[in-house]
Amino acid sequence: MGTPTRVLGLMYYPERDPELEEDCPGLLLTGYTIKSCKDPSYNCVAFALGDLTHYWYDVKVRGYYWPPGMPSADTVEGWTAVFAVHGYVETEDSGLEPDFEKVAIYVSAECPEHVARQIASGAWVSKMGKGYDIEHPTLEALESMRLGKLSKVMKRRCSGGRRVLE
């Protein structure tokens, strides 16, 4: 499980990941699609901002990045500030707005655990730890003991009419 297959030049990814389903049982109810190979070089914050080359966290380790002057990556304030500096503002609306891209921050015991990004179809995409990128239809699908509850939704106007990584 977990190894992509190449057929006629196209990559086919596994249909399911039992470990991911154990961490986020809501995915079994809503369904999800694996969209990438496992890649430990970036995380959910990086993926939400379109950076597939760094793991965004505030430690002094090669390959890791955290913007200078931002609050700790271990705080909701830190994550909110990082998205704010990239043009995001808080919103109450998690629905699709064609001219805006949105991110949703999940929190467990006041510590941020995950961020998902909305794509043009209205579905959400997530980088799952150091594992797969997945597409999931709802934000609720990821609420779990592991990732916590949806805490904040933020949005910014699409740059040049385009969304990150689309």
C-alpha separations of 112 from 32, 37, 135, 149, 154 in Å: 22, 24, 20, 10, 14
Model confidence, pTM: 0.92
Our count of domains for the chain comes to 1
Tokens of 103: 């991110």
Q: Is residue 141 part of a domain?
A: yes
Q: Which CATH number fits the domain that encloses residue 94?
A: 3.90.1720
- Block means of pLDDT (10 residues each) for the chain, 166 residues, are 60 84 95 93 97 94 93 96 98 97 95 97 96 96 96 95 90
For residue 157, the SS3 value is strand
Expressed as residue numbers, the domain containing 16 is: 5-157
Q: Is residue 162 part of a domain?
A: no
Query: Which pLDDT score, from 0 to 100, does residue 6 have?
Result: 63
Query: Which pLDDT score, from 0 to 100, does residue 60 have?
Result: 87
Q: Is residue 163 part of a domain?
A: no
Q: Is residue 166 part of a domain?
A: no
Query: Which pLDDT score, from 0 to 100, does residue 4 have?
Result: 64
